[in-house]
């Protein structure tokens, strides 16, 4: 099969799976506030939510040179960092705006679940005693924020592994796969917050607020008091993020980094319960959200029609034509090379998924 090269339409900036997820999230939150006629949400977040949607719409509307800059590798990395440093924070704060106005609080159910299934009796629990173990657990809980940034930075700097049947790695598949897994896992947690409102054990039980122990706990409590949403703990975003990163790196055959993030997720889950920040059920639900977010990200990335070959964008329109930009430097022989490849179509590979459609 010989591809037919035809002039492509004017270059545009397409959304990544991560940005599609944020578009759906912000649109859903706005619709939910309008349906509920939630004046508090509309007063506090309508402007900021509008700016987020305007940013996403502006990316889609880019044409020509601005679109070319946004779709280059540096532009792709910058967009994922903006999502991590700006959009995810806005999404988290918005999720906690509803409090328990949409559904009744479920702390009593969480307490019974922990007692029945995990033997944790929160009614008789007291704050951890000051010491080395407490400082270590508080520090582990604190480094979760660094792990999220580390995941994006690693995805931007690793080249992607060469899978069987392929001659070159796919950097874009790695970056978008890891980023989408992380953000979709977190967004799943935030979508659940308005429907599963609950406050942390340290706020629900008076005896857990008796005293502070150590600089790490003081810093954690200060950050939570300033930035957290008290009613948003189920599922746990602290656990969902590292679990999603572990699944994403493992699927791309970076087994060492996958194990690192998995161990980090386990330690953070233990630290969240030890420090009275989450119930045990919260931590397990967060792990489930991370796995579901990774699975959704792989489906989203694998079924995208955009993929990269030698730095140029291609669009698959049908089984006999391949549309390429008229200014591309890619020779037809290299395109035929791609069509002749036989690949098992491993999960997470945009290139292999596109080849399966062509065949």
Average pLDDT over residues 193-214: 84
The residue from 306, 322, 347 where one domain ends is: 306
Q: Are residues 101 and 218 in the same domain?
A: yes
SS3 309: strand
The verdict on 208 and 329 lying in the same domain is no
Contact 282, 107 (CB under 8 A): no
**Residue predicted with more confidence, 99 or 282:** 282
In a domain, 224, yes or no: yes
The mean pLDDT of 253-273, rounded to a whole number, is: 94
170/69: higher pLDDT: 69
Instruction: Categorize the per-residue pLDDT at 185 as very low, low, confident or very high, splitting at 50, 70 and 90.
Output: very high
Has residue 315 got a pLDDT over 80? no
Residue ranges of E strands in 51-201: none
| 262 within domain boundaries | yes
Q: For 53, left (φ over 0), alpha (ψ -120 to 50), or beta?
A: alpha
pLDDT at 233: 86
Does residue 226 sit in the same domain as residue 317?
no
Length of the chain (residues): 359
Average pLDDT over residues 138-166: 81
- Residue 265 φ then ψ, to 5°: -65, -40
Do residues 249 and 349 both lie within one domain? no
Least confidently predicted of 43-57, 238-252, 288-302:
43-57
pLDDT of 186 higher than 90? yes
- Whether residue 300 sits in one domain with residue 351: no
Q: How far is CA 239 from CA 144, 213, 242, in A?
A: 9, 23, 6
Shared domain for 204 and 318, answered yes or no, is no
Confidence of residue 318 (pLDDT cuts 50, 70, 90): very low
Asked if omega into 84 is within 30° of 0 (cis), the reply is no
Q: Does residue 3 fall inside a structural domain?
A: no
- The C-alpha atoms of residue 54 and residue 328 are separated, in whole angstroms, by 31
346 and 232 part of one domain: no
pLDDT at 328 over 50: no
Which residues make beta-bridge pairs with 324?
A: 7
Say whether both 224 and 322 belong to one domain: no
Lowest pLDDT segment from 40-44, 177-181, 218-222, 225-229: 40-44
pLDDT at position 304 over 70 = no
Confidence of residue 278 (pLDDT cuts 50, 70, 90): very high
Which of the 8 DSSP states describes residue 85?
I
Supply 319's token pair: 């089984």
Confidence of residue 340 (pLDDT cuts 50, 70, 90): very low
Which whole number is the average pLDDT over 113-138? 89
Q: Does 312 score more than 50 pLDDT?
A: no
Residues 94 and 154 in one domain: yes
* Predicted confidence (pLDDT) per residue in 41-72, tens digit: 777 777 888 888 889 989 888 887 888 888 88
| Mean pLDDT taken over the chain | 78
Percentage of residues in the chain having pLDDT higher than 70: 77
Kindly state whether residues 209 and 314 are assigned to the same domain.
Answer: no
Residue 113 CB neighbours (<10 A): 17
Distance of CA 257 to the CA centre of its chain: 17
β-partners of residue 140 are none
User: Tokens 């990200």, residue?
Assistant: 297
**Domain co-membership, 27 together with 134:** yes
Task: Please tell me the predicted confidence (pLDDT) of residue 290.
Answer: 96
Looking at the chain, the whole-number percentage of residues with pLDDT higher than 90 is: 37
Q: What is the DSSP secondary structure assignment for residue 235, as one 8-state letter?
A: S
Tokens of 216: 């790490």
Instruction: Assign 161 a pLDDT band (cuts: 50, 70, 90).
Output: low
Q: Which of 285, 306, 327 is the last residue of a domain?
A: 306
pLDDT of the residue at 270: 95
Whether pLDDT at 179 is above 90: yes
27 pLDDT above the threshold of 70: yes
Instruction: Evaluate whether residue 278 is within a structural domain.
Output: yes
H/E element holding 277? none
pLDDT band at 111 (very low <50, low <70, confident <90, very high): very high
Q: What is the pLDDT of residue 63?
A: 80
Q: How far apart are CA 183 and CA 148, in angstroms?
A: 10
With respect to residue 5, please indicate whether it lies within any of the assigned structural domains: no
97-101, 155-159, 262-266, 341-345 — most confident range = 262-266
Task: Please tell me the predicted confidence (pLDDT) of residue 45.
Answer: 78
The token duo for 78 is: 């910058």
Same domain for 235 and 323? no
Give the three-state DSSP class for 4.
strand
In a domain, 4, yes or no: no
Give me the number of domains the chain comprises.
Answer: 2
Higher pLDDT, 11 or 343: 11
Domain residues for 312?
307-358
The token duo for 277 is: 């920040």
């Amino acid at each position: 099969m010989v591809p037919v090269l035809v002039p492509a339409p004017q270059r545009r900036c397409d959304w990544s799976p991560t940005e599609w997820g944020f578009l759906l999230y912000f649109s859903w939150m706005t619709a939910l506030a309008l349906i509920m006629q939630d004046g508090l949400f509309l007063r506090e977040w309508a402007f900021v939510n509008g700016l987020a949607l305007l940013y996403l719409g502006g990316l889609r509307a880019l044409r020509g040179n601005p679109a070319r800059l946004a779709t280059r590798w540096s532009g792709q990395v910058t967009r994922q960092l903006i999502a991590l440093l700006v959009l995810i924070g806005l999404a988290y704060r918005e999720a906690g705006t509803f409090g328990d106005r949409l559904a009744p609080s479920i702390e009593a159910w969480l307490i019974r679940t922990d007692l029945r299934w995990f033997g944790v009796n929160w009614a008789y629990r007291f704050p951890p005693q000051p010491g080395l173990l407490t400082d270590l657990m508080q520090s582990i809980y604190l480094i979760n924020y660094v792990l999220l940034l580390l995941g994006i930075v690693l995805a931007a700097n690793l080249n992607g592994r060469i899978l069987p049947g392929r001659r070159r790695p796919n950097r874009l598949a790695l970056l978008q796969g890891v980023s989408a897994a992380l953000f979709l896992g977190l967004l799943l947690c935030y979508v659940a917050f308005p429907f599963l409102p609950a406050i942390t054990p340290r706020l629900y039980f008076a005896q857990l607020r008796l005293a502070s122990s150590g600089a790490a706990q003081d810093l954690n409590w200060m950050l939570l008091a300033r930035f957290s949403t008290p009613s948003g703990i189920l599922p746990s975003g602290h656990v969902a993020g590292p679990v999603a990163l572990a699944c994403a790196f493992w699927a791309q055959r970076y087994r060492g980094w996958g194990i690192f993030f998995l161990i980090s997720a386990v330690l953070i889950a233990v630290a969240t319960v030890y420090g009275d920040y989450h119930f045990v059920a919260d931590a397990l639900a967060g792990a489930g959200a991370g796995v579901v977010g990774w699975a959704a990200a792989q489906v989203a990335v694998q079924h995208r029609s955009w993929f990269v070959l030698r730095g140029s964008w291609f669009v698959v329109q049908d089984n006999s034509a391949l549309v390429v930009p008229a200014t591309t430097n890619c020779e037809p022989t290299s395109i035929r090379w791609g069509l002749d490849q036989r690949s098992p179509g491993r999960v997470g590979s945009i290139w292999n998924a596109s080849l399966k459609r062509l065949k």
